[in-house]
């Protein structure tokens, strides 16, 4: 899978028609992906989020947390094995919501259509979408 997204892609690079490289990094250099494998995993997440965005009428999708290098992950109180660390092949995550759509509806859509991990963050205003290949399909509440 290659769409041209690399660690050196500018933040404005479109991973999908409506999701940019910078959104995964919150447009912060400290959160820029370091490896091509991380970019490939992020692309898989972006493709599904794009699908969800389309399902809900093309409303703006907002990523609230994407890649978190270890220092950033510690600073925000992330789990030591967080999928946001992208610390292995096919491991990654993004927290997001779709503006103007109930987060619970987005969460339900992800639960029904995403074969990997979904964190039920709707009470906190987001859905966690994760990949950890080889791990059973998991669900949890925040």
Tell me the per-residue pLDDT of 1-33, one tens digit each, with 9 for 90 and over: 457 999 999 999 999 999 999 999 999 999 999
Residue ranges, the chain, pLDDT below 70:
1-2
pLDDT (0 to 100) of residue 95: 98
CA-derived radius of gyration, the chain: 14
Q: Is the pTM of this model over 0.85?
A: yes
pLDDT (0 to 100) of residue 2: 54
Phi and psi angles of residue 26, each rounded to the nearest 5 degrees, phi first: 50, 30
Q: CA 140 → CA 1, 2, 88, 128, distances in Å?
A: 29, 31, 21, 10
- Ordered by start, the domain boundaries in the chain are 14-141
CATH 3.30.1380.10 holds for 14-141: yes
CA pair distance 26, 56, nearest whole angstrom: 23
């Amino acid at each position: 899978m290659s769409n041209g997204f690399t660690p050196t892609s500018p933040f404005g690079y479109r991973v999908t028609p409506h999701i940019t490289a910078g959104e995964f990094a919150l447009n912060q250099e400290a959160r820029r992906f370091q490896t091509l494998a991380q970019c490939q995993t992020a692309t898989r997440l972006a493709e599904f989020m794009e699908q969800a965005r389309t399902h809900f009428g093309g409303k703006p999708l907002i990523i609230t947390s994407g890649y978190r290098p270890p220092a950033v992950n510690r600073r925000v109180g992330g789990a030591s094995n967080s999928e946001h660390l992208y610390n292995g092949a096919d491991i990654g995550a993004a927290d997001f919501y779709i503006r103007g759509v109930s987060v619970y509806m987005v969460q339900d859509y992800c639960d029904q259509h995403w074969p990997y991990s979904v964190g039920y963050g709707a009470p906190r205003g987001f859905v966690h979408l994760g990949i950890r290949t080889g791990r059973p399909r998991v669900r949890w509440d925040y």
